[in-house]
Amino acid sequence: MDILVEGVSRIWPGRKGTSVTALQDFSYHFRSGRFTCLLGPSGCGKSTLIQIMGGIEDATSGSVRVVDPAVTSRARPLGRDSVMVWQTLNLFPWRNVLDNVAFGLEMQGMPRAQRHAKARALLVSVGLRGFETHLPGQLSGGMRQRVALARALIMARPIMLMDEPFGALDAQTKIVMQEELLRIFDETRKTIVFVTHAIEEAILLGDEVIVMTARPGRIKEVITVDLPRPRSLELVSTKAFGMLFDRAFHLIREEVMKSLEQQAAMLEEAQ
């Protein structure tokens, strides 16, 4: 499923008639079965963008439409085509692992036995067999992350939107989860949009890396990552990876500096 983002802006009203433009005239054609990373300094509006793409936030102007190029060339408004994996995970703390994963199917009215069977199968595939009756609060960060992934995957929607999902994990767990996600991508070939501020992560995972500018967020440059799949962490030490990293790093360094200046100016204003 392609996602057509056209002229999307988001303006937050501020105090005393001022306003903050988080995102300005963002347009991009996300292609089916591709893994696209949104890379940018904090506050560049990349999270806002992915929320708008998921229909969770409204854009101030512009549109998000989807089209399945294998079926038609007519784009239609965004419906239930995507599912979000959240930075804060947002697991339901009172539901055990099985009922967290089966939540979406329960909402559709699928009978209990059927949805539990599906959830169980998915839990096996993300390595959580035997934890069905645990509560999220009883799990480690990496395990909770897997529950969140399974809960999204069970929806079988063509697009998966991921908003810095591994941001809170420790370095080792993060590596394991990245490899897990690479495997899932190779198996399902969903259209994935992945927000991150980690350059290495963006290049390791993505087919394209959209480098965004500091606020207001726009596209600075799109880097095509033509490294072969299936990928694994060993890729990081290759020369091709190093060159892509350098390129992304130079692009993003300028933006990080700009972002820091903006933050300093805002602090001064506040004083």
Partner 1 sequence: MKLSARGRRILELTLPALTVVAFVAGWEAFVDLRGIAPIYLPAPSSILEYLLRMIADGSMGFNLGVTLLRIFAGFAVAAVAGVLVGVVMGMSRIAARVADPWIAALYPLPKISLIPLLIIWLGTGETYKIVISAVSAFFPIVISAYSGIRQADQGLIKAAKDLGANRRQVQMKVVIPAAIPSIFAGLHLGMGVTIILVVAAEMIGGSGQSGMGYLLIHAGQVMETEKVFASLVVLAVMGALVIKAQQWIDRRVAPWTALHDGH
Q: Positive or negative, the Cα torsion across 250, 252, 255, 259?
A: negative
> Least Å distance between CB 85 and partner 1?
10
Closer Cβ to partner 1, 94 or 249, answer by number: 94
Nearer to partner 1, 53 or 214 (CB): 53
Question: Least CB distance from residue 84 to partner 1, whole Å?
Answer: 5
Q: Which is nearer to partner 1, 145 or 213 (CB)?
A: 145
- What's the min distance (Å) between Cβ of 229 and partner 1? 28
At closest approach, how far in Å is the CB of 184 from partner 1? 18
What is the Cβ-side half-sphere exposure of residue 227, based on CA atoms within 13 angstroms? 28
Between 16 and 80, whose beta carbon lies closer to partner 1? Answer: 80
Read off the tokens for 203. Answer: 């290049």
Here the tokens at position 142 are 């990496």
Q: Shortest distance, CB of residue 56 to partner 1, whole angstroms?
A: 6
CB under 8 Å, gap of 24 or more: what pairs does 256-262 form?
256/41, 256/214, 258/41, 258/213, 258/214, 259/41, 259/42, 259/43, 259/44, 259/214, 259/215, 262/43, 262/214, 262/215
Q: Least distance (Å) from partner 1 to the CB of residue 135?
A: 5
Of the pair 41, 45, the CB lying nearest partner 1 is at: 45
Q: How far is the CB of 50 from partner 1 (least distance, A)?
A: 12
User: 110 vs 235, which CB is nearer to partner 1?
Assistant: 110
Give the nearer residue to partner 1 in terms of CB position, either 55 or 62.
55
Binding site for partner 1 (CB under 8 A): 54-56, 80, 83-84, 86, 88-94, 103-104, 106-108, 135-138, 144, 151, 155
Instruction: Return d(Cα 194, Cα 196) in angstroms, integer.
Output: 6
